[in-house]
């Protein structure tokens, strides 16, 4: 508890939803003095009860203010904090960075003390109840540098990020918004667009659902209210990418409509190949760009079965690179898909089979 | 080995790739007499070496022929088998069902002995090497009934499906093709279209990649050659759904381009809500439509850690409904996302924490 980079500093957290509460809990766990505030007194009391920090006192002098409110009220809250604490550095955690910066500049706020940031640690659940001290552990946390803030002004923000166990990544607000449009906001919409095809799907079709469509549509379950705000605040970059995607989709439809037209099959093949190329660029585990072999093992649907399997894998001495469980509709059996380095696949398969496990393809 | 529904019957498998080899291995494991054939003598010898069946003999009299060749040569192979074995029932395993049926009808084949089928058990890897006796265990296997084959003609096909541990589902060829267009072929293209946005993505953006885009794009890694055939053979149904999706995407772009236009935010909100509704229709584990609570636990990246976690979960007496492992880029730590019934979430969280596990949000 004594290794905090923020020892002796008071940090003020404004907004005690999932992120604010988690920031408070994480800093408190390191012994940092955390002051909480929230527009809702009930929400504030709850976060204090959870141990995320203490109530504001008249003589508080926070060196760092962390604004953790919804995107559409972020800029005005940051501006208010900059005025209220003229010696403090103020950051925010909104998932868009250009809009708040522009809004603050337009309002004549003191940008020499504002450094926006964004932890990539959102979850589908919100509220103080879901807050966790370890929410940010190992996650990237973007710091959106700009020209108005001096270099040393960013130190407290980086200290907080490191205290919370996250990995600071420096980029401009525009780089950030363009990046998350691609890696988060458009994928969200793509999942939504695919999932909405299922609204009127016949029951029989739903019986044929496999892991593919489950994966493609999973994030479509997220809360529309939050996503409306996020998409609204990043609409230009999102629209640009989605427009290209829709044009490609229309091109694929054109190919499918007349596959014997000159170039149609080739266009479709090139689209599929581009998909291969794109997905291969996603960083692998620990940033390695490495592909794993899959070993698929049947597991009965009883507690302890999977633990037994993983104990055996540990005994065999093979490291699990990835793991997922798949259940077939209508079957009282599951498949454990185990990702391992290609060089150990054969040995693992043989040793598991010799211990009585049923290996699938 | 004596519980086969096909005892005393010879089954002929034509095509010894992943599916044909797996059918052979699965039936051989139940003691069924399996004869293999393949256009490639080397491929055939390999499958025989793997124990998927024996070579053809002059006096073979198969009661059932299973055609496991690529989609674009399925119909002609089925026609040849119907002629060569005038007493046999012939099925195939191609992932489209209308095109082969129409092609066979046009060629004047004896449809009273043809019953197409499709096991939903494809994997990204092919070849006899990947064949597994248990490939079909617990998987749906569509039987595409039509009017020309009498009821009793289907019995052998269903016996084979049950022998392989799969779950037979009866539907028409058109129902099948329309269903897989929605649940498999369009999701494949959507993943491809999203993944191809990554081809020119800046490295910085790739550093912000989370589980969302990984899930959305995972199947985009599949082999273009096979998908060209599948999409080509189901182009009308796929184009119909993708056309609607592209129109919705264009509508979303229009909303994003001018969010303050009357109705723009509402249109976007309704699209997001439709995605919620659609994804909620996906059948849950064992066909239940039940949502699970997520408990997220930190695991160090060492063999045996996960096994220890699952052993603890077993000791606590909680059944794992779902499990996935997530690794953060740059971090030597992983997150185990555990799906459990909502009513046990709190107890599991508390008991794991008391055993020293770090719970994340």
Q: What is the pLDDT of residue B121?
A: 85
Considering only residues A297 and A220, tell me which one the structure prediction assigns the higher pLDDT: A220
B153: three-class secondary structure by DSSP: helix
Would residue B300 be called left, alpha or beta, if left means φ above 0 and alpha means ψ between -120 and 50 degrees? beta
For residues A28 and A52, the answer to whether their CB atoms sit within 8 Å is yes
Would residue A120 be called left, alpha or beta, if left means φ above 0 and alpha means ψ between -120 and 50 degrees? beta
Q: What is the pLDDT of residue A361?
A: 54
- Which residue of B138, B236, B307 is in closest CB contact with A328? B138
Q: How far apart are CA A19 and CA A69, in angstroms?
A: 9
Q: How far apart are CA B154 and CA B158, in angstroms?
A: 6
Q: How far apart are CA A221 and CA B294, in angstroms?
A: 14
Give, as one character, the DSSP assignment of residue B350. Answer: H
- Say whether A244 and B273 touch across the interface (CB within 8 A): no
Residue A147, pLDDT above cutoff 90: yes
Q: What is the pLDDT of residue B285?
A: 44
Give, as one character, the DSSP assignment of residue B294. Answer: E
Q: What is the pLDDT of residue B247?
A: 98
Count the alpha carbons within 13 Å of A213 in the hemisphere toward its beta carbon: 30
Query: Which string of DSSP letters, residue by residue, matches B186-250?
Result: HHHHHHHHHHHTTTT--HHHHTT--HHHHHHHGGGGS-HHHHHHHHHHTHHHHHHHHHHHHHHHH
Cβ contacts of A314 on chain B, cutoff 8 Å: 303-304, 307
Residue B168: CB partners within 8 Å, gap ≥ 6?
Answer: B141, B142, B143, B158, B161, B162
Question: From the centroid of its chain, how far is CA B220?
Answer: 14
Q: What is the pLDDT of residue A305?
A: 77
Q: How far apart are CA A203 and CA B179, in angstroms?
A: 10
- Which residue of A132, A206, A275 is in closest CB contact with B282? A206
**Backbone phi, psi, residue A160, to 5°:** -60, -45
- Say whether B182 and A205 touch across the interface (CB within 8 A): yes
Give per-residue pLDDT as tens, A151-210. Answer: 888 999 999 999 999 999 999 999 999 999 999 999 999 999 999 999 999 999 999 998
For residues A45 and A52, the answer to whether their CB atoms sit within 8 Å is no
List, in order of start, the domains of chain B with CATH numbers: 10-171 (3.40.50.720), 178-280 (1.10.3660.10), 287-360 (3.30.70.260)
Residue B108: CB partners within 8 Å, gap ≥ 6?
Answer: none
Tens-binned pLDDT, residue by residue, of chain B (361 aa):
457 889 899 999 999 999 999 999 999 999 999 999 999 999 999 999 989 999 999 999 999 999 999 988 999 999 999 999 999 999 999 999 999 999 999 999 999 999 999 999 865 556 777 788 888 988 899 999 999 999 888 999 999 999 999 999 999 999 999 999 999 999 999 999 999 999 999 999 999 998 899 999 999 998 898 899 999 999 999 999 999 999 999 999 999 999 999 999 999 999 999 999 999 999 864 333 346 788 888 877 666 777 788 888 878 888 777 777 765 444 456 778 888 888 888 899 999 989 988 887 5
Choose, out of A208, A229, A290, A350, the residue to mutate when testing the contact with B (most B CBs < 10 Å): A208
The angle subtended at Cα A298 by Cα A295 and Cα A300, nearest 5°, is 150
Cβ contacts of A253 on chain B, cutoff 8 Å: 239, 242-243, 246
Residue B99: CB partners within 8 Å, gap ≥ 6?
Answer: B71, B75, B233, B234
Consecutive H or E run containing A231: helix A224-233
The complex's ipTM?
0.79
Residue A55, pLDDT above cutoff 90: yes
- Which residue of A190, A257, A323 is in closest CB contact with B216? A190
């Amino acid at each position: 508890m004594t290794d905090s980079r923020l020892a002796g500093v008071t940090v003020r957290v404004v907004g005690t939803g999932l992120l604010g509460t988690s920031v408070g809990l994480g800093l408190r766990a390191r012994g940092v003095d955390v002051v909480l505030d929230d527009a809702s007194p009930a929400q504030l009391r709850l976060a204090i009860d959870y141990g995320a920090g203490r109530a504001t006192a008249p003589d508080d002098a926070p060196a760092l203010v962390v604004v953790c409110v919804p995107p559409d009220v972020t800029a005005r809250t940051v501006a208010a904090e900059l005025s209220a604490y003229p010696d403090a550095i103020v950051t925010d955690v909104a998932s868009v960075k250009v809009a708040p910066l522009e809004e603050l500049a337009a309002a004549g706020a003191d940008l020499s003390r504002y450094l926006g940031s964004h932890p990539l640690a959102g979850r589908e659940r919100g509220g103080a109840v879901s807050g966790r001290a370890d929410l940010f552990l190992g996650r990237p946390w973007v710091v959106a540098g700009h020209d108005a803030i001096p270099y040393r002004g960013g130190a407290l923000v980086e200290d907080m990020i490191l205290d919370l166990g996250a990995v600071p990544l420096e980029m401009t607000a525009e780089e950030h918004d363009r990046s998350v449009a691609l890696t988060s906001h458009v994928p969200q919409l793509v999942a939504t667009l695919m999932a909405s095809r299922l609204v009127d799907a016949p029951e029989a079709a739903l019986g044929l659902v496999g892991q593919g469509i489950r994966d493609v549509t999973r994030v479509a379950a997220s809360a529309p209210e939050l996503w409306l705000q996020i998409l609204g605040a990043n609409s230009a970059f999102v629209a640009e990418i989605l427009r290209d995607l829709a044009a490609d989709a229309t091109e694929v439809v054109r190919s499918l409509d007349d596959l014997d037209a000159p170039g149609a099959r080739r266009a479709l093949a090139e689209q599929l190949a581009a998909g291969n190329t794109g997905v291969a660029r996603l960083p692998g585990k620990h940033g390695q760009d490495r592909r794993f072999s899959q070993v698929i093992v049947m597991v009965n649907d009883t507690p302890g079965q999977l633990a037994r399997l993983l104990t055996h894998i540990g005994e065999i001495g093979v490291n699990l690179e990835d793991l997922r469980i798949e259940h077939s509709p209508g079957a009282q059996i599951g498949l454990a898909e185990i990702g391992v380095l290609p060089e150990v696949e054969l040995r693992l398969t043989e040793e598991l089979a010799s211990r009585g496990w049923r290996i699938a393809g």
